[in-house]
Amino acid sequence: MLIIFLGVLSQWVAWRLQLPAIVLMSIAGLLVGPVFGVIDPAKSFGELFDPFVSLAVAIILFEGSLNLNFKEIRTFNKPILRIVTIGAFIAWIAGSLAAHYIAGLSLGVAFVIGGLFIVTGPTVILPMLRQAKLKSRPAAILKWEGIIVDPFGALLALFAFQFVLFAIGAETAGAFGLFFLASLFAVALGAGAGALMGMMFEKGQVPEFLKAPMVFGVVLLTFVVSDIVMHETGLLAVTAMGMIMANMNIASINDMRHFKENISVLLISSIFVMLTASLTIEVLVSIFNWQVVAFVLAMLFVVRPLSIWLSTIGTDLTIQEKTLVGWIAPRGIVALTVSGYFAGVLLDAGFQDAELLTALTFALVFSTVIVHGFTIGWVGKKLGLVAAVDPGVIIIGASRFATLLGKVLSDFEKSVLIIDSSWGRLQEARHVGLKTYTGEILSEHTDYEVDLTPYETMLVATETDAYNALVVNNFVPEMGRANLYQTAIQEGDPNDFHSSLSGRTLFGEDWSIYELEMKAAEGYTMRKTQLTEQFTYEDFKVKWADDTIPLFVHFAQGKIEFFAQNNKLEPKAGDTIVSFTAAAPESDRTKERIENKRSKNGTQTKE
């Protein structure tokens, strides 16, 4: 109970304070574990500890690979291929040499742990990317590298271990053949399981309510069967399974992604607390050994940048992208769990220096998680690789009102994107210089054509109420219901659309998109009213009560809040209210301009 609660609480606190969640989870585990001794998960779980962690890693890795659609990288697949092959090889050699000459490990142990340390992994990189909001290309490179290299790192360590045993005469050459055959079996098993699941889903042989649970069960089965054949090949199997399913264009793939993502968040939270709480004071003290510290610094500032810069020579990556990717390489759960396994088997094989592996691994994991977790957003901003410092607004449904609203939002330097399935309806929006996209927002094709990362808020304002609710529900997992709005229900009883099935009602229940369009046709315009100490929000409501529809408030700090049902706004002096109102006669506008010039304390109203 405490592990799950602390994990989820850490995620929530990190979201509230905009801090790296991985760091808070690790700190929570250290506090309740080795520091205060409240829990000892390794002792409490006993023999179930390692299997539980391994199965959790399998689910997390599958969930990450379920997002690896090749369409995402069709324009920059060369640098990714280079990084996961040449870059991984350079990182292995350089990291192994650093472990030998700096950390003092024997060559055999150094090359085993050096192979494992090439991993970054979805357990740490995906939460960081979710927080940092990088541009699509560097984010995709880091995501693909983390997921693909994760199983390869474990296999590379296993290969090095087999070679070490062969070198000391403990294994025959046939062990290498068995290793490669087991790896091929893992790929075939995972790909076959993924293809079978995909075909069954597409032919309707699995009901909707069973799809996610069935995938969950098959992932665990695939992982365990492969791992029984040869230890650590299960990770390769579930990665292959996820990639096959991600590229089969399965209609219900998004539902599975949402389910797996929810499970992964819970598992990542729990596993990090479990692993850090299971450490001992002796391990924590050994981390501050000067050799361990020097090794971590070498991995951060020499090995990682060297592997990225050398492997991407001749690619179209910019200097800024190489710098960011060469800096961000957090190690996570796979490194911690697999290193524990190799520490045990190496000690059994007579390598006494393998005792240092736990301290070395945790030092690297915790250091990279903290350093990269706190710097990924800052470095991204400095290099100009953050998608948007000020989140924008997406408007679904092109109309005259939507164009007017989008234009006034852009006047406040907000990024605006209007999406509609009709090219003709978007003509007016294009004419006034707004960014548009012609296509179906619910189409999977749109996911790869449009980068939605810079947009935090979505306004759904088409003529079909049920479609509006459908769009809102589709984007709840990605944007959160608090950031999803839709225009008022036009036909039928609004009570038929339960709050859990729709977005927040824009501008109140009286203003459907039809009513707003009628007002636009009557000549309604956008009015900006800046509040002062003399002209307050109460004065605004009295003066502009008739024929005025308040739309949103642009606060002095730059944030925008829309008027919506059950959303009580209290604008203050310095804030600007934007409303949709009847055009004022020329005499009124002239009088207002004269009053504004005479005002000694600032503008009362500004059109």
Instruction: Find the helix packing angle between 21-30 and 253-277, rounded to 10°.
Output: 40
pLDDT digits (tens, 9 = 90+) for 264-304: 778 878 888 888 888 888 878 888 889 999 999 999 999 99
- Regarding whether 543 and 435 lie in a shared domain, the answer is no
- Regarding whether 426 and 374 lie in a shared domain, the answer is no
Proportion of the chain above pLDDT 70, given as a percent: 87
251 belongs to a structural domain: no
The rounded mean pLDDT for the chain is 82
Backbone angles phi, psi at 420, to 5 degrees: -155, 150
248 belongs to a structural domain: no
Backbone angles phi, psi at 36, to 5 degrees: -105, -10
> Measuring CA to CA, which residue among 532, 543, 533 is closest to residue 579?
543
Domain that holds residue 576: 523-607
What's residue 492's pLDDT?
56
- Regarding whether 392 and 319 lie in a shared domain, the answer is no
Count CB atoms within 10 A of the CB of residue 28: 23
d(CA 183, CA 419): 45
Final residue of a domain: which of 359, 382, 405? Answer: 382
Q: Is the pLDDT of residue 22 over 80?
A: no
- Regarding whether 124 and 87 lie in a shared domain, the answer is yes
70 belongs to a structural domain: yes
Final residue of a domain: which of 501, 522, 543? Answer: 522
Which of 153-162, 280-289, 462-471, 501-510 has the largest mean confidence?
Answer: 462-471
What's residue 586's pLDDT?
47
592 belongs to a structural domain: yes
What's residue 320's pLDDT?
92
Q: Is the Cβ–Cβ distance between 290 and 356 less than 8 Å?
A: no
What's residue 72's pLDDT?
63
Distances (CA, A) of 257 to 140, 214, 500, 526: 17, 13, 20, 41
- Regarding whether 593 and 552 lie in a shared domain, the answer is yes
- Regarding whether 539 and 471 lie in a shared domain, the answer is no
Instruction: For residue 389, count CB atoms less than 10 angstroms from its CB and return exposed for 0-12, middle for 13-18, buried for 19 or more.
Output: exposed
Stated as kind and residue range, the H or E segment containing 294 is helix 290-298
Average pLDDT over residues 251-261: 65
Q: Is the pLDDT of residue 90 over 90?
A: yes
Termini Cα distance of the chain: 57
Indicate the pLDDT class of residue 388, thresholds 50, 70 and 90: low
515 belongs to a structural domain: yes
- Regarding whether 326 and 474 lie in a shared domain, the answer is no
Average pLDDT over residues 205-221: 88
> Measuring CA to CA, which residue among 276, 216, 226, 260 is closest to residue 28?
276
- Regarding whether 163 and 65 lie in a shared domain, the answer is yes
> What is the maximal distance between C-alpha atoms in the chain?
99
- Regarding whether 533 and 512 lie in a shared domain, the answer is no
Which residue type does 565 have? Answer: Q
Number of domains comprising the chain: 3
- Regarding whether 280 and 158 lie in a shared domain, the answer is yes
CATH number at residue 343: 1.20.1530.20
String of b and e for 468-482 (b: at least 16 CB within 10 Å)? bbebbebbeeebebe
Residues sharing a CB contact under 8 Å with residue 486, sequence separation 6 or more, in sequence order:
459, 460, 461, 468, 469, 471, 472, 502, 503, 504, 505, 506
- Regarding whether 518 and 564 lie in a shared domain, the answer is no
456 belongs to a structural domain: yes
157 belongs to a structural domain: yes
- Regarding whether 537 and 499 lie in a shared domain, the answer is no
CATH number at residue 404: 3.40.50.720
Final residue of a domain: which of 322, 347, 382? Answer: 382
Which of 46-60, 317-331, 379-393, 559-573 has the largest mean confidence?
Answer: 317-331
pLDDT digits (tens, 9 = 90+) for 60-84: 778 777 777 777 667 667 888 899 8
> Measuring CA to CA, which residue among 16, 130, 12, 63 is closest to residue 456?
130
d(CA 243, CA 64): 9
513 belongs to a structural domain: yes
Residues sharing a CB contact under 8 Å with residue 29, sequence separation 6 or more, in sequence order:
6, 272, 273, 274, 275, 276, 277
DSSP3 helix / strand / coil % (the chain, rounded to 5): 65, 10, 30
Which of 144-158, 179-193, 504-518 has the largest mean confidence?
Answer: 179-193
